[in-house]
A and B are shown apart, each in its own frame.
Chain A
């Protein structure tokens, strides 16, 4: 009797598990919480009605990468999770991310060809796809129209080279000692795009990083030189955390940022008249440089409901959802078909800024913001060098020598 009831219980439990599949999605906290919750409410839940699949978003407020490493290692990770291109490589290498090729072959909705190839490549290792890019960002020149009007200077535009761009910034900075041309974030994540324009690549043919590369030296001198002449300023020195904050403060005329700045400007400086254009070209190479920042959906290799998780993934990357994301001005979706989207042609600063950011991914020397298995350890020494030079604690040569040593130590580990 006892045994029978136990068996019944087991059968009952198994049935209920098969009927209700609970898919957990892990991602960033903050703004993403609202966006993804709304996305799930508007698109995912209606589409999954009757399938018995339930979905829940689990935002992580602090250091997502640390969380996901811990969770995957401990076996408590969500079924679907964000993967930043910066650290996706080390997760994929560890074998905890499910290869998606088999699912993609069967899928009628989601095809690899639909996704912008350069984005997909960033999550493809030896022909195996490990993540579906959800959206991306690049850098663009965001400028305060009022400050340029006040100085009587032409706005930055897509034809600017470093020289003409510098001349414009110089004139704007001349308005007042407390007004600066460019927000100079001491980070490779901004400065690197300029180094790329000059022809620098993080890893040369031998796989080494050479900071004495003339292209790199030229770019760092140009960038940090602006701090010395007062044409630019580090956001930290005007009590701002980043370029967007500096632009919103109206003390700085230009910031090199991605589309993420749009939302921040909307809430922090709603009356700011801003415009956006492509990054300036290097006068020698005639090229622009840029980073592609992208985040993909990855699937947990240890997930109990992989088929259901992929179904959710299909909805999250569907054309309707991506159109919605685009129109909300949240990010630039990863589907190639969106290039001719009427949204981009609107006469609206947000839509135009988004379009500039979209174009940035395919113009000039564009590289993903990822540095092999070194991750943020690779950019750290360069960030420190930039900061040391711009706070006048070291010359460019001294700082680069130190950075090269530290970089060699990181790469030799």
Chain B
């Protein structure tokens, strides 16, 4: 900028302002440059460390990446459909790779549910059950954590810390523990995802409750209602749309989470995907990825549509509370 050329014309006060502005701009630039240098150093250090401690080095393994993509190409495009709908394959040699019809789940004599659809339904059910459980418990806990409803400081503190621990506790550990106690299957996944959901939803819920309009509550208080009545008739109707919308958001996240927990032994589609990728069953892998992709898109769209109907065009930061 050419601000300097005008400086002789400025009054003394003007020069002071100019000087001050210069100082501020200079400091700002210094911070920006310092931040960038720090980020560059941290990033290069991180990437170097990641590369060093990885089993294969990035540039050594890069050609294999493309090999691997090539390996993932099925023998013909129809194989994906056959794997997806459990139709017999012309390449069937008795190995696990082409035994698509083996996984059929027969509902009647002839009508069957393809294996991966069944597994996908299992995963969706895990997510749905966990979201419902999390919604129920989070609903109960959130009123105890809200400062406008719970006056006992110690109770609020305790409930909030409890929900924080539930939220931050790694799901994988809960899943692993219950996999050891129960057997491999969906129940450990449900428990793990539910516990996390209680914490995550509880936190969002109590923030909503704290922003609720307290006039209705005052009215009920004046009429002599007890705590439960006040919460149920004055707060719940206000916050319910937001609660539902957060729960739907959580459902989207939980579908992904239950897929991941599935891959470590929680059953469902995640496990099928892990097995087929590790055994290089290309058609099966692509079929599962396709199915998973379509399901996630469908769940996201459905949830976005429902949320739009419930709370209108109010925007939400998705992924909040991860």
**Do the two shown chains form a genuine complex with each other?**
no
Interface residues in chain A, defined as those with a beta carbon under 8 Å from any beta carbon in chain B:
none
Interface residues in chain B, defined as those with a beta carbon under 8 Å from any beta carbon in chain A:
none
